Structure 1
Amino acid sequence: MTFSRNLGVLKQNSLPSLVQDELELMFRKGKFTPGHPLREATLATQLGVSRGPIREAFRSLEEKGLVTVEKNRGVFVRVITAQEADDIFEVRTALEKIIVSRIAKAPDCLHNSGLPQLLSKATKLAAKADFSACHALNIQFHERLAELAGNHTLLNTYRRLVNELSLFRQQAHARQADASSLKQSVEDHKALLEALLIGDQKKALKVLKLHVDESRKRLQHILS
């Protein structure tokens, strides 16, 4: 396995940082299921590095709430409870309101954003009921909006919450049998983008609230 980074990025970042980024990417893609043990030796072999950078990355991932370290047992992918997910949803919603409001006031930032193309791809994947791929595109859509909002602190905080919440979503998707939720999510994203493109902040916030509330209820119901 090789890093999902080009040579320029490799030269500008420390190895532990790159390992951490790569592991976070694997989390987002659903490569690890909640509760799954993470072995230093196995990951070191997969990434072509020594165990030291893996160990350092584990410490950072623990601080970010993605893994748990159990004495004499090892490192495990964190299991998010329904209550924890609900708390994360609440904070994420507050951040997304800020994101949407900022973009609605300056919709020109959406030009060449790549979001229409992303939603076109998501539509096709939703029709195929590809939960894993749709989940990845869902993260990309919301994170792209966070990037366009132009607030670095907000973006970093948002990314951490999304990473944590992705663990909960993986638990839910493992039990999900109805693909209609995927199609509805894409339609919500299209409606949100349309409102933002014309700078309609009120409509965008309304669409966002409905989207997040339904997503929140759906995930809680699946795991209840």
Structure 2
Amino acid sequence: MYLTKAKDYLLLCKTIFSFLAGNSSNLISQREMERFMYLICLIFLSDADTTEDVTVVYGIEGKPISINCSYNLKENQWREKSWCKHISETKCQHVVSARRFWMPFLKRRNGTTAIADNIYEGILTVTINPLKKKDAGLYQCKTDFLGVVNTLQKVKVNVLTDLWETEAPEEPRVEQSISSTPSDTETKLHIIVAGLLGFKFLIAVLILIIARSLKNRTTEDGYRRENEHQLFPVTGNGYYS
């Protein structure tokens, strides 16, 4: 089956991770399975919708998203770099510019959008935090040198709904609250530790079984030798009678 639209991909992904979540083991909760499968689908969508001229990225509403634009160090290392949003086919509205010369790696922010230029690796990083529906659209990483503007990369940003938050029951938000519920990281750590302890226990049981088997075999050999001596007593001249 060939799917051509992002909504079709999303529908397929939702069907897949709903099936897997329903058949997952007790060690992995349904919510974790949905997160895992949803992220895989996002990666698949990004690869499926990437064209030669425009890079398509997907972000979740309310979450941060980072976009990297690489450039040639020899040509663009010291040029001014900026991030703009297309409001028409020919006009790109300026959003934020990276710092020049003086500590260019430090972020410069405009609202929810921040930009940082790594002039040593040739990577311009744009971060939108938090991502909103209005942030969807066509963007451009570009350089400006003596009035000459060059496009580094065109990026289409798509904003998706956070499925595992919208489908989960609403919970009251309490600021500075302390919860005794272990975090996902702690839970996974406990599972790993329990798995290692279980593995060591199985090894110990296996060693014990082998040791008992060897001991029983040695005991049986001893009994067999004693029986042979009793059946064939040794005479005074050293021969069996």
Normalising by structure 1, we get a TM-score of 0.23
Q: Which has the larger radius of gyration?
A: 2
Larger relative contact order (Cα-Cα within 8 Å, sequence gap ≥ 6): 1
Query: When you count strand as a share of all residues, which structure comes out higher?
Result: 2
Query: When you count helix as a share of all residues, which structure comes out higher?
Result: 1
Normalising by structure 2, we get a TM-score of 0.22
